[in-house]
Structure 1
Amino acid sequence: MEVSLRDPKILMKLSKLGSFHQSKLSFLRSFLNEFKDWEYRRDLFNLNQNGYGRAVYSFSKNNRTYSLICFANEIKDEERSDRVIATKWDAAFTLHDGIPTDQDIDRLANEVPKQEVGRLSYKELTLSRANKSLRLFNYVVDCLSNGQQPDVNNLSKVGYLYRTTAVYGSGKFGLADRFRIKNRDEILGPFRLEMMLVYLVRQFTFDQVNHIAKNKNPGLAVQLDPNICRNLGIGNSTGLGMAPFIVNHPELLNNWIFARETALKKIRQIEKVSNKDFNIFKDCLIKSLKNVTSWHTESEYQNNKIKSLLNDLEKFIDFLNMGSLENKPFLFNEIYTWIEDNLNDECIEYIVSMMMEPYDNIVNPLLKNMSADEELSFNIPIDRTVEELRSIIEKNYPDILKIDFSKNENNQNFWFISKNKEEPRLADRYKDHGSDLEQPLAIARDIKKLYEILFISKNSLTIGKFLMDHNEYRHVVRRAFITEKFPYAEIQDNTIGSNLMPIDMLRLKLSFFGALKFDPRSDKWLRICMFQGAPLPNELKSFDSHWVYNSLNS
């Protein structure tokens, strides 16, 4: 049976993309699989009784070593902030290429805590900082120092002891440029080194809390139970700085979505689904319900999505329990057709992710194709004609061509770069100043403008000659030709309209990272949890690949 890939014109709407969930394709899960047979060590742990000092953790294999260098700092409560404009954090980290010398650590001790103000070298690969979830961190220290384990119900409301506020890489602040390391087999998948940093930071948080508790009450203190550690992750606060990424990297976005859609297509085409594989799917589904019911947020928007997800999951489980599915040919296609007809996007995409769980043989070969050498696709074919470009736009942007940009609500917002932090921000065109400094992120509007000019241009005119008179449209001419080769390269929505929900853009990217429990704090920033349920470093050589569906309450 032939199954088609899902239509980009439907799938690439922000409301749909903002309903994506983590899957076996997510970068933190593929990172763990890639590094499961590397040697893990804690090479240095030099903290004082209050938990301040230095630590080094590493992964090594053959002649390659990656080392996380940690600096835990004492700061005042009023200095602790998750905002990007903060200048002090509870801890700062860098991932070092190789084994750091004492001189390296001394050099970094002066630079890493400064973050953006500091200066790193080509020896450093990623940079990050994090703050304690102070109330929970102190609660755990108090419990352990008194010889008790913390209450998992209290822990589940947050899910982490620390949250990062940024993870940088690829040449920022002096870090190694990507070209230096991009051909290493172990990091061919996107964001592998960023995931390594976050994972090792998670272990540092456990070691630090145990260390402080032991020093607080040496005779009575106990270590945090490994089962509790396993089901704590690392939090993250993410704002608008992440949103333009998926606009600015069209080929990369395509490759992420294309891998997901290819996996779905191949799974739907399986004629005979084994009982073993179907039981893995059902088992993960049932286990995952605890993750959903422990998903806490004060956001009405997100609570409505969670409620919809739970209601739809109940419907879906009833459908599975009807019993008429057993031994049906093309079972997962039958399931997909039913959920598409009966459930909402939040649950449809949840189940799509779940369908991948039994199928390493389908998912794993796709991982190596999720990176992109975008320079190869950014060349504009100047010998093509206006007529060809117009046809591409009519085929790939039909809904965008219907938007009336003469209406204020379709031009409501503009993207700009903050002068203070050089981070992307969003403003109201009719209330705020600065629209003359607008960033080229209004792709829908610019495609429509380009199309209107193409419509009155000579069909046989080459693109090279067209751009001589209309160079201001070079960025969208390039994008239109990219969509010809990469069908999932473009968001099929208006990124400056009054109905824009920027967190849909954030959630799309974070789902591919492997984030859980999206917790919007506004329509422009949210908190998440990463690695909750993941095996500890000393367990990596043998672990359940479906660990993400474990729960604090299980």
Structure 2
Amino acid sequence: MSERLIGHQDFTDWQWLKARLIERYSLDTIETMYSLMIELYPHLVDDMEEYLGADEHLQLRPEIALSELKRTIESQYDWALSIDFRKPESQHVFWYRSEEKMEPRLGERYVESGADKELPVQVARSVKACHALILSDLLLHTDSDVVHFLLRHPDQISIVRRIQTMTPLIYGDIRANLADQDMQPMHLLRAKLSFFGVSKFDPKSRLWVRNTMFQGAPLISELDSGRDLDDWYFPVAPIG
């Protein structure tokens, strides 16, 4: 593919190549080519490994006007405000941490006990409740700022911190109702698990997912076999 696209060995017009890739090839092919292009310049990218970690902390801006926070929620969290949490199916499940493996698990709110141990992952519900409280608070305190709102409602500090921190981040929040009856955990896990080498998912139920890691990767004994092992991570095309 690269020979058809480039045509000569001293090619350096990567912007042209990028445009041609977007025109002709699938997203998987494009991302693979991007990875290969990056490897050509180790002196530029190797040090970036130090920046892959994230300094995760939530910041609070108490000085801004409460009306500004209201507008932020309405513009950035409109997806959360559109959910009707009065419907039983919108709060059907709850997330908790298992005692055996300390991993997140799902429970059915109207069938099982344990909702009192629910993990605080229901961002959409918390945002909508906070927004409703802001609306009622502004009726009495028109010119209020965030700090005085939080003094009156200290239980809202956590969600206000999250809103103010995540708003500038495109991928800061999962824009979905994680308690909905039709929510599938696999939809949340595919991206995360792919970083660990998971390429094949086999959902056995909505409660757990079986996966295959590093499928096709060579064994240690095969590394010196002389075979070309560079394409093992590509999916195998079905036969027949």
Scaled by the length of structure 2, the TM-score of the pair is: 0.75
Where does 1:143-182 land on structure 2 (aligned, <5 Å)?
none
Mark the CA change 1:371 to 1:329 in structure 2 (over 3 Å): closer, same or farther. closer
Residue number among 90, 98, 122 corresponding to 1:410 in the alignment? 90
Residue number among 453, 472, 485 corresponding to 2:168 in the alignment? 485
Note if contact 2:202-2:209 (Cα within 8 Å) is conserved in structure 1: yes
CA-CA distance at 1:551 after TM superposition: 5.0
1:60 equivalent in structure 2: none
Mark the CA change 1:276 to 1:479 in structure 2 (over 3 Å): closer, same or farther. farther
SS across alignment from 2:105: strand
Query: In 2, Cα distance between the equivalents of 1:412 and 1:550?
Result: 36
CA deviation digits over 1:125-167, x for unaligned, max 9? xxxxxxxxxxxxxxxxxxxxxxxxxxxxxxxxxxxxxxxxxxx
Query: In 2, Cα distance between the equivalents of 1:335 and 1:454?
Result: 50
Note if contact 1:413-1:497 (Cα within 8 Å) is conserved in structure 2: yes
| Aligned: 1:533 with 2:216 | yes
- Name whichever structure is richer in strand by fraction: 1
Note if contact 2:94-2:107 (Cα within 8 Å) is conserved in structure 1: yes
2:190 equivalent in structure 1: 507
Where does 1:6-17 land on structure 2 (aligned, <5 Å)?
none
CA deviation digits over 1:360-398, x for unaligned, max 9? 3348847654420113xx121222232222222222221
RMSD: 3.3
Residue number among 451, 454, 457 corresponding to 2:134 in the alignment? 454
Note if contact 2:59-2:164 (Cα within 8 Å) is conserved in structure 1: no
1:160 equivalent in structure 2: none
2:54 equivalent in structure 1: 372
1:357 equivalent in structure 2: 32
CA deviation digits over 1:13-35, x for unaligned, max 9? xxxxxxxxxxxxxxxxxxxxxxx
> Greater relative contact order: 1 or 2 (C-alpha under 8 angstroms, separation 6 or more)?
1
1:426 equivalent in structure 2: 106
2:181 equivalent in structure 1: 498
Query: In 2, Cα distance between the equivalents of 1:550 and 1:400?
Result: 37
| Aligned: 1:395 with 2:75 | yes
Note if contact 1:405-1:411 (Cα within 8 Å) is conserved in structure 2: yes
CA deviation digits over 1:313-357, x for unaligned, max 9? xxxxxxxxxxxxxx9993333357xxxxxxxxxxxxxx4233111
Q: How many residues align?
A: 217
Note if contact 2:22-2:30 (Cα within 8 Å) is conserved in structure 1: no
1:473 equivalent in structure 2: 156
2:64 equivalent in structure 1: 384
Query: In 2, Cα distance between the equivalents of 1:445 and 1:489?
Result: 16
Query: In 1, Cα distance between the equivalents of 2:137 and 2:4?
Result: 56
CA-CA distance at 1:446 after TM superposition: 0.8
Residue number among 223, 229, 232 corresponding to 1:547 in the alignment? 232
CA-CA distance at 1:278 after TM superposition: 5.1
Scaled by the length of structure 1, the TM-score of the pair is: 0.35
Query: In 2, Cα distance between the equivalents of 1:462 and 1:481?
Result: 14
CA-CA distance at 1:470 after TM superposition: 2.1
SS across alignment from 2:32: coil
Note if contact 1:441-1:495 (Cα within 8 Å) is conserved in structure 2: yes
Query: In 2, Cα distance between the equivalents of 1:494 and 1:553?
Result: 36
Note if contact 1:409-1:498 (Cα within 8 Å) is conserved in structure 2: yes
